[in-house]
Structure 1
Amino acid sequence: MATHITSDCINCGACEPECPNQAISEGTDIYVIDPNLCTECVGFYDHEACQAVCPVECCLPDPNRPESEDVLIERAVHLHPEDEQLKSRASANDYPSRFRK
């Protein structure tokens, strides 16, 4: 599932710089996550970085966009074609993921 930001967002911006994919941006009233860029931090962290810094815990998995770990790591590799370490870790199935806690 891509992560989404709920209406509980206080528009603090703490989440935006944490995203390894630059999927988070300031919306009209709250911050928003582009689901086509979100990898739930698979390939980068063993947790969702936006969720970890959110003071009101409004960065949550979107139940309307279920996605597997395989889909998310493929997206991460696609979004970061220059990242040889990510490619290597993905092909070896040895990368950080919240699915592997």
Structure 2
Amino acid sequence: MMKIEADRAKCDGLGMCEAMAPDFFEVGDDGTVVVLDEQPGEEHRQDLSAAVDACPVLALKLRD
């Protein structure tokens, strides 16, 4: 099962992930990423991979 991991200490709150996959990420009130669904279905892998790859500070990972 795929899992989204976010390193909130690395996050700069730039919002690239939220822009690319708003159903799964948002920038919280504290300016860091909030993962809305940590274990998404496999059908979302392509969109989530693109969002993870777009993170300029490498704060996101997908794990299997």
TM-score of the aligned structures, taking structure 2 as reference length: 0.67
| Equivalent-residue separation in structure 2 for 1:47 and 1:12 (angstroms) | 16
Residue matched to 1:82: none
Matching of residues 4-43 of structure 1 within 5 Å: 4-6=5-7, 7-19=9-21, 22-27=23-28, 28-35=30-37, 38-39=39-40, 42-43=42-43
Structure 1 residue runs without a partner (length 5+): 67-101
Aligned to 1:4, what secondary structure does the other structure show? strand
Return structure 1 stretches of 4+ with deviation > 2 angstroms. none
Deviation, structure 1 residue 35: 2.5
Change (3 A) 1:17 1:46: closer
Structure 2 residue runs without a partner (length 5+): none
Aligned-residue RMSD, C-alpha: 2.7
Matching of residues 1-101 of structure 1 within 5 Å: 1-6=2-7, 7-19=9-21, 22-27=23-28, 28-35=30-37, 38-39=39-40, 42-44=42-44, 45=46, 48-61=49-62
Deviation, structure 1 residue 23: 1.4
Bigger relative contact order (CA 8 A; separation at least 6): 2
Change (3 A) 1:46 1:15: closer
Change (3 A) 1:33 1:46: closer
In the alignment of these two chains, the number of paired residues is 60
| Equivalent-residue separation in structure 2 for 1:25 and 1:47 (angstroms) | 13
Identity %: 20
